[in-house]
Chains A and B, each alone.
Chain A
Amino acid sequence: MLSIKNIHASVEGKQILNGINLEVKAGEVHAIMGPNGSGKSTLASILAGREDYEVTEGSVFFEGNDMLELSPEDRAREGLFLAFQYPVEIPGVSTTNFIKTALNEKRKYNGQEPLDAVSFLKMMKQKMQLVEIDKSLLTRSINEGFSGGEKKRNEIFQMAMLEPKLAILDETDSGLDIDALRIVANGVNKLRNENRAIIVITHYQRLLDYLQPDFVHVLVNGRIVRSGTKELALELEEKGYDFLKDELSLAEAL
């Protein structure tokens, strides 16, 4: 589904990613871990098409399309979803209206008629239960005055509504207390299926306890230095990133 080959990227002239390779197949959940500043969020931004980042080398193919050629909105319409680390407030635009606009733009792109109000509401109701989101949140301006937990839950709700092929969760666990974390993780789990791939970017093991990823990759200095199964995450939790860094500097010294 997603094929990342030798991606190098910089922001404002500063090199952040130094050759990332990653293959993600439908139905898989990949976790990308790494210390602060290792390039995790940069990778998410590049995949979503944020313009401040410059890809200097490498390629990204998504369902056979050269993704780097697509505008951010077309990537989204093709089925890429990014759950933001810091969801943005848009005053005066209700969550419902926002999602409806997004959904219908996507449908239009795919040659479908816009969803009528009744079907839309029905769909909302169904998905609301999935992520345990409160109805009152949906009539409020999107993300405005939402708590950290509400914002993240709203991201997962949007994911549920937009039904992406590939979802990238960028530090969705940050700033969540244990109850909120559980609710968000349960929501994500319910959205897992054989046709959908998920990339979870996180700093900590705790979200992975709930999500049980198929693969774990460790990113250090803009490169994947180690890939493994969920046991790798446990090892990291135990030893910290330093042991990898030590290994890495040793390797580089050789």
Chain B
Amino acid sequence: MKEEIDVLEQTVASDYKYGFVTDIDTDVVPKGLSAEVIRIISTKKNEPEWMLNWRLKAYHHWLTMEEPEWANVHYPPINFQDIIYYAAPKKKNKLNNLDEVDPELLKTFDKLGISLNEQKRLTGVAVDVVMDSVSVATSFKKQLSEIGVIFCSMSEAIQDHPDLVKKYLGSVVPMTDNYFAALNAAVFTDGSFCFIPKGVRCPMELSTYFRINTEGAGQFERTLIVAEDEAYVSYLEGCTAPMRDENQLHAAVVELVAHTKSEIKYSTVQNWYPGDENGKGGVYNFVTKRGICQGDHSKISWTQVETGSAITWKYPSVILKGDNSIGEFYSVALTNNKQQADTGTKMLHIGKNTRSRIVSKGISAGRSQNSYRGLVRAGKNALNARNYSQCDSLLLGDKCGAHTFPYIESKNKTAVIEHEATTSKIGEDQLFYCRQRGIDAETAVALIVTGFAKEVMNQLPMEFAVEAQKLLAISLEGSVG
């Protein structure tokens, strides 16, 4: 038994593979937050007056708010004056195509396995790349625009599609929603914007890759995806950061709007730097993600594989407003060393015959703490609302923790809400069974964990599933041996 635990501990001690820093000329606004800093950011981005006013309003509201403390995570107070709110790789002029991207940047993303060269890319994925505060490149833009799909950085959207941005920005996550959402609204610097017009099935996966590079910089991106009637889009998000001793703040907002009979599938593979094995450094990932099924028969599906960040605080949610709409949440959250994750979802049933499904798989190793927190609410008009939730936790070793906090509120008698939860340990018996067949403990743990997470992994688009599976194995590397 003792040896088995040692074996698990060794597997858990792995190296973060994306911890390098790119040496590139960066345009930085000095540390600290004030109305002045927000004005500078807005000016740098050449924003219209309405955008600046929106930011300032959010900022003033944020000043009145208190940092939330209800999550099952612990960290020293954040000094918001000690964060850089704007850092952008310097560029000479506006890019016309990808060939003009700084080679140093291209190298960075090649190293991360993200080729920006369209010819080299796997077909069927368009990428927007965000480094620190700005989007540096978006691929396949032209091909997409031919069928009416808008896929660009948020900064460009504000310039080129102000009406759409004005209409939808903050419509799902209001600037006053919560502490970090308000902060984001005040200082967000970039992100992706996707608009799928009526009746269009987006022919390729849209993808954004987020990278924090500059020391002391926070990343505050904002993503907005709108699917008009009968439109379909599958969107992927990936993220990494260099290894640093101090904690970096990532406070993003994602808003999804699904109109009648449309479908948005949003997948995340989150691999921010988790800190070292003693819990030093790492990204604080405080994110608000929410989608609204605005129209009847619309569908929003969140899939997330969370392996990174020192602290994760995130609850991708769906507001099921349209009748017969569907919300889904599939999550694998793996915590190791001293990582803390408090993650889950909210399914808010408002329309009739709305359905939601929650599948959460938490894997805890090392000395980490992994919590599922989920709210299912059926409103008084949500006749025949149905929810099924399944929360499984897998423990590796005896120093980690798994917690489940389900909240269920039903205001009508026709709603049916089911919740199932299990907690299991990778058993000595399972390991021995594998080893007797010639599978060493480390491979066995990866096999068992992959099996445990399979139901969620199956939801990921193909290209991502392979990457995510590797990520799970890497994140556990050294915990057995």
Q: Which residues of A does B touch, CB under 8 Å?
A: 48-52, 71-73, 75-77, 81-82, 84, 87-93, 97-99, 101-103, 105-106, 109, 141, 158, 162
Contact = CB atoms under 8 A, between A and B. Distances in A.
Central interface residue in A77, A92, A98, by most chain B CB within 10 Å: A92
Contacts of B455: 92
14 contacts: A50-B432, A51-B432, A73-B441, A84-B436, A88-B429, A90-B433, A92-B450, A93-B450, A97-B447, A101-B439, A102-B439, A106-B438, A109-B438, A158-B437
B451 A73 contact: no
Given A51-B3, A105-B443, A76 B452 contact: no
Interface of B is mostly: helix
B438 A141 contact: no
B445 to A, nearest CB: 11
A84 B440 contact: no
Contacts of B437: 76, 98-99, 102, 105, 158, 162
Contacts of A49: 435-436
B438 A102 contact: yes
Given A71-B435, A102-B437, 20 more contacts: A49-B435, A73-B435, A73-B439, A73-B440, A76-B437, A76-B438, A82-B436, A88-B427, A90-B451, A91-B452, A92-B452, A93-B448, A98-B437, A102-B438, A102-B439, A105-B437, A105-B440, A105-B443, A141-B451, A158-B437
A90 B448 contact: yes
Contact of B435 (A72, A97, A98, A162): A72
Contacts of A92: 450-455
Contacts of A73: 435-436, 438-441
B451 A93 contact: yes
B430 interface: yes
A84 B1 contact: no
A90 B436 contact: no
A105 B439 contact: yes
B436 A76 contact: yes
B102 interface: no
Contacts of B439: 73, 101-102, 105
Nearest to A50: B432
A52 B1 contact: yes
Contacts of B205: none
Contacts of A87: 433
B436 A98 contact: no
A88 B430 CA distance: 6
B432 A72 contact: yes
Nearest to B429: A88
B438 A90 contact: no
A161 B448 CA distance: 21
Contacts of B47: none
Interface in B423-478: 427-430, 432-441, 443, 447-448, 450-455
A72 B447 contact: no
Nearest to A107: B438
B430 A76 contact: no
Central interface residue in B3, B433, B437, B453, by most chain A CB within 10 Å: B437
A91 B451 contact: yes
Central interface residue in B434, B443, B454, by most chain A CB within 10 Å: B434
Central interface residue in A84, A87, A105, A162, by most chain B CB within 10 Å: A105
